[in-house]
Amino acid sequence: MYTDNIPDLAHARLIRARARGVPIRDGDRAVAIAYLSDGTYVPNDTIVRFEVARGENPARRLTSALATTGARGLWFYGGDDAARRAAAELNLDLTPVGMAFVRRMDPAARENGLRLRVPAAFDKLSVNEIVSDHAAWFQNPEAFVVERDRDTIGVALSETLTPEWSEIRVVIAPTYRGRGFGSTAITLLADRLEEAGKLVCASIDSMEARGRSALEGAGFRLADYYFSARRR
């Protein structure tokens, strides 16, 4: 497994931005903060962000957080050491629910005549619909139409996460899937961003194999999983 110092991806940012913070106290001291999901993307009995004061035991404070909030689970990124340790020490059931990828290798995608172009006025409605259906957590995406022989076969999106990092997402129309177009479109967009000096990451919000294959064909490698940790 690869680990990288990547920022919260766009979906995780939105989940956490909607969460409500609850301070966890020991006497008159705040020793942790548990953020409860609003229920939109993750069940509302789930802590989606857990911050522990320096020197505190994460498992002990997560026990207090679960009792204080009434939550039954924790949603976290595998690279979050405190959350991962706490879930393991409390023997919570872990289920991978998403994957984060970074671009680390040369792409294996083949040439197949694809190109990216800036959307024209007549593309805007369909692009907006695709963003709404497949990347609603992108707040300010830059979009490109994926074309082959003047046929529109999909949309490629990028979202700036930090000055260093951009996240990408590609949606290929159902009738064109299974031909390697996803990997090629991802490669084209990732190359464009890397040439501009950006580091590139991507996510899959399930354990779906086709999306992972498309990313790996474009030179991406798994960085870590998002987990749902629940009481037995």
Beta carbons within 8 Å of 134's beta carbon, 6+ residues apart: 169, 171
pLDDT of 121 reads 77
Task: Write the CATH number of the domain with boundaries 10-99.
Answer: 3.40.630
Q: What is the pLDDT of residues 95-111, one digit of tens each?
A: 999 999 999 877 766 66
> Residue 123 is which amino acid?
D
Residues 135, 8: Cα–Cα separation, whole Å:
15
The pTM for the full model equals 0.88
Residue 1, CA distances (Å) to 4, 52, 209, 224 in order:
10, 26, 17, 7
Q: What is the pLDDT of residues 19-34, one digit of tens each?
A: 999 999 998 899 999 9
Q: What is the pLDDT of residues 203-217, one digit of tens each?
A: 998 777 788 999 999
Q: What is the domain partition of the chain in residue ranges?
A: 10-99, 102-225
Least confident of 171-185, 190-204, 212-226: 171-185
Instruction: Please determine, for residue 2, whether its predicted confidence score (pLDDT) is greater than 60.
Output: no
For the chain, the average pLDDT equals 90
Homologous superfamily (CATH) for 102-225: Gcn5-related N-acetyltransferase (GNAT) (3.40.630.30)
Instruction: Please determine, for residue 164, whether its predicted confidence score (pLDDT) is greater than 90.
Output: yes
